[in-house]
Amino acid sequence: MKRLLQVVASLAALLPALAWAEPQKGGVIDVATIGEPPTLDPMASTADLVGIITQHIYETLYTFDSKWGITPLLAADMPKISPDGLTYTIALRTGVKFHDGSDMNSADVLASLNRWMKVATRGKQAAEVISAIDAVDDDTVKITLKKPYAPLLSLLSLNNAAAIIIPSENAGEDPLTKFIGTGPYMLKERKPDQFIQLTRFDGYKSRGGEPNGYGGARKQYLDEIRFVPVPDANTRVEGAVAGQFAYVDSLPVESYDKVSAGKTKPLILKPFGWPVFVMNTKQGLNSDIRIRRAIQAALAPSDMLLAAFGSKDFFAVDGAMYPEGFIWHSDVGTEAYKPDGDTEKAAALLKDAGYDGKPLRILTSRQYEFHYKMAQVAQAYLEQAGFKVELDVVEWATLTKNRTDPALWDIYITHSPFLAEPSLNGFMSDNTPGWWSSEAKHKVLDAFNSESDPAKRAKLYEDVQKVIYDEAPIYKVGDFNALAAEAPNLKGVTPAPWPYFWNAYLDGK
């Protein structure tokens, strides 16, 4: 499985291995985030914000290393996989404690994974191919599949809709009321819209060796991490310039020069990921594939990206789901991606669909300002093609809640890093908001997910990308780079799509 997740060297450079000298412990940092998370239960949400915060509290059996390969976290080692690919036997680390002082064992893992398959969208995705999960003994679990499924370890590794391990007695809760994990930091206090305060868990048992991406050693140098919601992008910029925060996430890229002249230093994550318009295929206008194809034709990604990011240093007009350099890169199907849009074609498709003027509702948020700017440009092009468009601009926490109700929207805007395993993308699951499900999708995904050979999988992914363009369940706008900022005395933070602060320390504390 390690070889399945090879990625371009420039992305791997986001998570370099660090030469580690033991810093002094102590200190408190404030981290500015884009807003208040809708939950602290990472099984229940695919929101990046939830994953960023909760990855410090909870841990998974596996995670991603500096090259986006899979590496053990709570598992003792990589699984023993049967020759037919149907049985994964996973030895667990011993001596790992939860924040309540209890020891983690296979009963906790079994209960947690069963909850994950019921609660998490990615767990439901895995549940379709899992026939049983059993505790072999106190320190071993066994997962039995109905058919070979290459993405399994990636699904067990991701930090949103995450397969976190929690005490078995808490696994029956939905929603969670006790936020107890095995992570290096534990929840001390949450004041909604003010802060989420995490403190060092003195009972934490780190893996040995050196830090390695999200894997390897996790050292707890900081006494406390406070995540502070700052929904307004301009306020985050001003906070970065003034040195108000040790780390500021998700800054508008046009603020680079201003941040550079302030008291924190800018960090560019390149390439970061892709903005995406998700279509509600379950009900409403976009349940009609003809309407989705009209939207696909109407949108002009060149203008949308220019409005969102300003300089071409921060974006690329690219219809391929993965950029050049990724094993998954392909241009198959991208002829439907028109940089300047095709208003005439969109109008004709709309007419053929019998569009009756019902408003197309676009759900977006200004906490990610680039989402909102793309929505404004999209509205203009869609109206030019003949759509009536309504923008529903809400707080990000409200968006993540409202997108679960298919009656409330037709398109919602989000973004994602380039995930090492394509099947981790939310729209690959029938259960994720958007609810894309079709015979063609299932056929190509079954072939793709059943194959273990990386080269063969890359070829099969071309068929997946073609169906995405044929059925238009999402619209990829392009590629973009992201901007963050950190204080000069904050050390040990490796730029990453989901920033983490174990191994971070304050220099000269």
Write out pLDDT tens, residues 313-328.
Answer: 899 999 999 999 899 9
| pLDDT (mean) for 158-174 | 96
| pLDDT (mean) for 478-487 | 96
User: Is the pLDDT reported for residue 378 higher than 90?
Assistant: yes
Q: What is the pLDDT of residue 9?
A: 38
Shared-domain flag, residues 496 and 373: no
User: Is the pLDDT reported for residue 194 higher than 50?
Assistant: yes
User: Is the pLDDT reported for residue 246 higher than 60?
Assistant: yes
Peptide bond into 252 cis (omega under 30): no
User: Is the pLDDT reported for residue 45 higher than 70?
Assistant: yes
Is 244 part of any domain? no
Shared-domain flag, residues 176 and 39: yes
Q: How far is CA 94 from CA 33, 48, 101, 139, 219, in A?
A: 34, 30, 14, 7, 18
Alpha helix segments (H runs only) across 85-168: 106-119, 121-127, 152-157
pLDDT bin (cut points 50, 70, 90) of residue 270 is confident
Q: What is the pLDDT of residue 6?
A: 40
What proportion of the chain, given as a percentage, has pLDDT over 90? 92
Q: What is the pLDDT of residue 21?
A: 57
The tally of CA atoms less than 13 A away on the side-chain side of residue 119 is 23
pLDDT tens by residue, 200-219: 999 999 999 999 999 999 99
pLDDT bin (cut points 50, 70, 90) of residue 267 is very high
pLDDT bin (cut points 50, 70, 90) of residue 280 is very high
- Look up the pTM and report it: 0.86
Between CA 109 and CA 112 the distance in angstroms is 5
User: Is the pLDDT reported for residue 137 higher than 60?
Assistant: yes
Query: What would you report as the CA-atom Rg of the chain, rounded to the nearest whole angstrom?
Result: 22
Q: What is the residue range of 293's domain?
A: 272-481
Between CA 303 and CA 292 the distance in angstroms is 20
| pLDDT (mean) for 104-122 | 97
pLDDT bin (cut points 50, 70, 90) of residue 271 is confident
Q: Is the dihedral of CA 285, 286, 292, 295 positive or negative?
A: positive
The per-residue b/e assignment along 105-136, b for 16 or more CB within 10 angstroms, e otherwise, is: bbebbbbbbbbbbebbbbbbbbbebbeebebe
Q: How far is CA 280 from CA 195, 295, 472, in A?
A: 33, 12, 10
Between CA 234 and CA 106 the distance in angstroms is 47
pLDDT bin (cut points 50, 70, 90) of residue 411 is very high
Shared-domain flag, residues 298 and 346: yes
User: Is the pLDDT reported for residue 225 higher than 80?
Assistant: yes
Is 158 part of any domain? yes
Q: How far is CA 106 from CA 130, 134, 159, 171, in A?
A: 17, 9, 20, 13
Shared-domain flag, residues 328 and 374: yes
Shared-domain flag, residues 419 and 470: yes
Domain count, the chain: 2
Peptide bond into 148 cis (omega under 30): no
Residues 214/63, Cβ–Cβ less than 8 Å: yes
250: helix, strand or coil? strand
Shared-domain flag, residues 212 and 290: no
Q: What is the mean pLDDT of the chain?
A: 94
Name the percent of the chain in helix, strand, coil, to the closest 5. Answer: 30, 25, 45
| pLDDT (mean) for 273-277 | 97
Is 9 part of any domain? no
Residues 321/422, Cβ–Cβ less than 8 Å: yes
Is 64 part of any domain? yes
User: Is the pLDDT reported for residue 228 higher than 90?
Assistant: yes
Report the CATH number that the domain containing residue 118 is assigned in CATH.
Answer: 3.40.190.10
Shared-domain flag, residues 426 and 491: no
Is 265 part of any domain? no
Report the C-alpha dihedral over residues 93, 99, 101, 104, rounded to 10 degrees: -30
Residues 88/148, Cβ–Cβ less than 8 Å: no
Q: What is the pLDDT of residue 509?
A: 56
User: Is the pLDDT reported for residue 455 higher than 90?
Assistant: yes
User: Is the pLDDT reported for residue 387 higher than 50?
Assistant: yes
pLDDT bin (cut points 50, 70, 90) of residue 435 is very high
Is 33 part of any domain? yes
User: How crowded is residue 170: how many other Cβ atoms within 10 Å of its Cβ?
Assistant: 19
DSSP states of 70-88 as a string?
EEESSBSSSPEE-TTS-EE
Residues 360/411, Cβ–Cβ less than 8 Å: yes
Tokens read off for 268: 């560019």
